[in-house]
Amino acid sequence: MAIKFYPETKTFFLDGKNMTYAFRINDADFAEHCHFGSPIGHDDLSFCKMAGATSMAASVPGDNGSPMKSYGYYPPEITFYGTGDFREPTVQIETPDGARLCQLLYAGYDILAEKPAIKGMPSMRGGETLVLHLKDPYIDFGADLYYTVYDDCSAIARRIVYINGTNDTVVLHRAYSFAFSLHNRDYKVMSLYGQWAGERSIQETPAQYGVISVDSKLTSSSAILNPFIGLIANDACETHGDAYGVNLIYSSSFVLKAQGLSDDRILVTGGINDFDFRWTLEAGEEFETPEALMVYSNEGVGGMSRQFHDAMREHLINQKYVKACRPLVINNWEGTYFNFTTDKLKEIASASAGLGIDTFVLDDGWFGKRDDDWSGLGDWVVNEKKLVGGLDAVIEHVNSLGMKFGLWFEPEMVNEDSDLFRAHPDYAIGAPMSSGRPRCYGRHQYVLDLTRKDVRDYIVESVNKILHNHHIEYVKWDYNRAVTESCSEQLPPHRQMEFAHRYALGLYDIFDRIVLANPDVFFEGCSSGGARFDGAVLAYFPQIWTSDCSDAERRTEIQYGTSIVYPQSAMSAHVSAVPNHQTGRVTCIETRAAIAGLCATGYELDMTSLTDEEREKIKAFNEEYRNNMEELVLTGDLYRSENPQKSNFFAETLVSKDKSHAVLTFYRRIRYANSPLKHIRPAGLDPNKTYKVKETGLVAKGSTLMSLGYPLILPGSDFATIKYHYDEVK
Ligand code: DGJ
């Protein structure tokens, strides 16, 4: 049993692989957070109760005798507003009398052998689960706090279900998924920020008094800030020290907060963004919140990342695909953009055959009237004028070469110049029609109103029709603009602020009815590059196109930042042409293949333009990928040792779980003349195992290789890469 309750001390202990989470019910019936971190004994933890500084403390309601008995004093599992707690609330409600008050106090618990799924939202699978029941003593409003732990990773999954048991309406002004606190303020707050073609850079800010907030208001998780917050101990680094991470498994507007308190604790809380949010719960209704995946490691930021990777690979990403060989694709986007014919596509496919590439993906431009990005979205009908012979002419050719066929969709969108918009202008999100206010454009397109069932039915039917009528084995699902005018024609005024969450529920509904309904099709996520790179998308799509920047140099930084939370196998990365289309940079094909080969890989260029020498190299890269890299990408442990966001180098070692083999990929950005000697050191090997280094023939202990390393002998100029393969010698 990973979860234990001790009735004498009213303490709950949840033990994960290398971690304990503990809280107790205190004498105010408040769920008081005690510990999240290294494994601890199941002791009476009442000794660590709060006695620190606060200001203008309010007693618990009605208790005039004990000033230290205040909800605002206690390290929380949940914070609530209006009854003496001035910290960021996890929940704020409004009752019909206009009051915004609640006290969520202990009312019992259940321990479930298996975690129940969330209705209508993706979440972590399996794991023993504690349900802590909290109730308000004066109104029949409650919160069920779900905690799931796993024996194979140091992770805990948390969420809250809010329950309106009253006979009246309760309005949720805020309904977050979790809260906990860390002792002392000795932490940096880590987040991943970015923009189009520059996603997930690492930002670290000293924890401070007041709130640091990481959020999105885009109705998608966005490239601006990823739904992740890290709390990294000030004395921790990449390899050592306490590191906590929280990833919200959610694709719409979110917020994650770290609030430094006057008692020097840090409150961590978050969930659905309460900006532009209000949810009306009718009598008897419940509100499910998205799940937060929380991990802990005392092996620094690298350890935190590995815990995320293990938790996601074992319990979130579709097991059918997560550890299976991935399609090795040729995608025509950067090769042709919209400018292709049936013959051109066939030529690209033919030129890819025999090189180890097994899937041809036809990107944007095959449907409706779509020769540029001004028209056609929403009309999921093959453009037979452009594709003479139809889709099947291309598919049959691709299949005859022994390759699979994949197709691009952007199902959530519509262009004004489309048959769909002409027939149903109300399907597109916009200000109420009566206002006459025009819609904002993004890439000349609008977003469809997924809160509407009729709109979702249209999408599901039109996309599934294409999938069912053609031999399609791979889909790239794109999403290229953010929601503006968060309104729906079909929601009453008092429910308009439910829009962003209802969009997410609508999105998961169409994922269920398209992605899950076609289990033999491999789905890749995409959003204008990596603008919707989150755990909820990963629950459906084993890999996501990481960025529209395909330049290997910039990709080192983007992939490094993405790996803080997401496994290598979740990142899709392609070798593209030089000069690179986004940066104009020229890098050698070896570097492009080595950097893309750290992920789920493929190609994105006009294969017909390659020289024979390049073709031979591509064949060799693909053999190297399948033979030596892919298993490590899918199942191995990642050890980062040079951070390209901070240095001239990028180095990552991928190590098999049994530590019998590993590959170090080392990249140098700029070559300086007469530069100081750089030592390359692999990481994550077993110090006691003996390894043979394929490239040098050296045989040495893991401890020797990791401690001494060897001097960099990297020929070539800028943007050069070297790889070392380590195999255990028995
Ligand atoms: C944005 C994607 O990120 C690209 O890879 C490509 O599919 C284009 N959209 C097509 O419009």
DSSP 425-485: GGGB--S-GGG-PPPPPBTTEEEB-TTSHHHHHHHHHHHHHHHHHTT--EEEE---S---S
Question: What DSSP string describes 409-422?
Answer: E-TTEEESBSHHHH
Atom number in ligand 1 closest to CA 408: 7
The string over 674-685, giving b where at least 16 C-beta atoms fall within 10 Å of a residue's C-beta and e elsewhere, is: eeeeeebbbbbb
Q: At what angle do helices 552-562 and 589-596 cross, to 10 degrees?
A: 10
The pLDDT score that the predictor gives to residue 214 is 98
Spatial contact of 592 and 556, defined as CB atoms under 8 Å apart: no
The finding on whether 557 has its CB within 6 A of some atom of ligand 1 is: no
pLDDT digits (tens, 9 = 90+) for 322-376: 999 999 999 999 999 999 999 999 999 999 999 999 999 999 999 999 999 999 9
Q: How far apart are CA 449 and CA 455, in angstroms?
A: 7
The finding on whether 129 has its CB within 6 A of some atom of ligand 1 is: no
**Residue 464 CA: distances (Å) to CA of 170, 383, 518:** 39, 17, 8
> What tokens appear for 550 in the block?
């395909």
The pLDDT score that the predictor gives to residue 712 is 84
What domains are there in the chain, each with its CATH number? 3-315 (2.70.98.60), 329-414+450-634 (3.20.20.70), 649-728 (2.60.40.1180)
Annotated catalytic residue, options 449, 548, 551, 606: 548
Atom number in ligand 1 closest to CA 529: 3
Q: What's the angle, vertex CA 567, arms to CA 561 and CA 573, rounded to 5? A: 70
The finding on whether 376 has its CB within 6 A of some atom of ligand 1 is: no
Half-sphere exposure of 239 (CA within 13 A, CB side): 10
Compute, in angstroms, the gap from residue 526 CA to the centroid of ligand 1: 8
Stretches in the chain below the pLDDT threshold 70:
50-53, 66-67
Q: Which among 372, 475, 545 is the best mutation to test ligand 1's pocket, defined by most ligand atoms within 8 Å of the CB? A: 545
The finding on whether 71 has its CB within 6 A of some atom of ligand 1 is: no
3-state secondary structure of 245: strand
Within 10 Å of residue 589's Cβ, how many Cβ atoms? 17
Instruction: Tell me the sheet residues that pair with 6.
Output: 11
- For the chain, helix (H) and strand (E) counts, in that order, are 14, 38
Contacts of 307 (CB under 8 A, 6+ apart): 153, 154, 155, 245, 295, 296, 297
The finding on whether 345 has its CB within 6 A of some atom of ligand 1 is: no
Q: Which of the 8 DSSP states describes residue 634?
A: H
**Residue 725 CA: distances (Å) to CA of 418, 661, 728:** 53, 7, 10
Spatial contact of 72 and 53, defined as CB atoms under 8 Å apart: no
The pLDDT score that the predictor gives to residue 639 is 98
Q: Which helix (H) or strand (E) holds 288?
A: strand 286-288
Q: How far apart are CA 367 and CA 443, in angstroms?
A: 17
The finding on whether 582 has its CB within 6 A of some atom of ligand 1 is: no
Edge-to-edge strand list for the sheet holding 31-37: 3-6, 11-16, 19-25, 31-37
Which residue CA neighbors atom 11 of ligand 1 most closely?
Answer: 364
Q: What's the angle, vertex CA 248, arms to CA 200 and CA 464, rounded to 5? A: 90
Active site residue 274: no
3-state secondary structure of 507: helix
**Residue 285 CA: distances (Å) to CA of 81, 169, 170, 172:** 21, 9, 9, 12
Strands 228-233 and 279-281: unpaired
Q: How far apart are CA 650 and CA 646, in angstroms?
A: 9
Q: How far is CA 475 from the centre of its chain?
A: 19
The pLDDT score that the predictor gives to residue 433 is 77
> What tokens appear for 318 in the block?
């579709």
Contacts of 613 (CB under 8 A, 6+ apart): none
pLDDT digits (tens, 9 = 90+) for 214-262: 999 999 999 999 999 999 999 999 999 999 999 999 999 999 999 999 8
Within 10 Å of residue 130's Cβ, how many Cβ atoms? 25
Spatial contact of 468 and 380, defined as CB atoms under 8 Å apart: no
Compute, in angstroms, the gap from residue 196 CA to the centroid of ligand 1: 11
Annotated catalytic residue, options 478, 534, 551, 606: 478
Q: How far is CA 699 from the centre of its chain?
A: 39
Active site residue 548: yes
The pLDDT score that the predictor gives to residue 262 is 87
Handedness of CA 133, 134, 139, 141 (dihedral sign): negative
Contacts of 338 (CB under 8 A, 6+ apart): 364, 365, 370, 371, 372, 373
Q: How far apart are CA 173 and CA 622, in angstroms?
A: 53
Instruction: Tell me the sheet residues that pair with 206.
Output: 188
- Supply the Cα-derived Rg of the chain in whole angstroms: 27
**Residue 709 CA: distances (Å) to CA of 16, 628, 673, 720:** 34, 21, 22, 19
Compute, in angstroms, the gap from residue 583 CA to the centroid of ligand 1: 16
pLDDT digits (tens, 9 = 90+) for 464-478: 999 999 999 999 999
Q: Which of the 8 DSSP states describes residue 309?
A: H
Within 10 Å of residue 387's Cβ, how many Cβ atoms? 20
Phi and psi angles of residue 644, each rounded to the nearest 5 degrees, phi first = -70, -15
Q: How far apart are CA 84 and CA 61, in angstroms?
A: 8
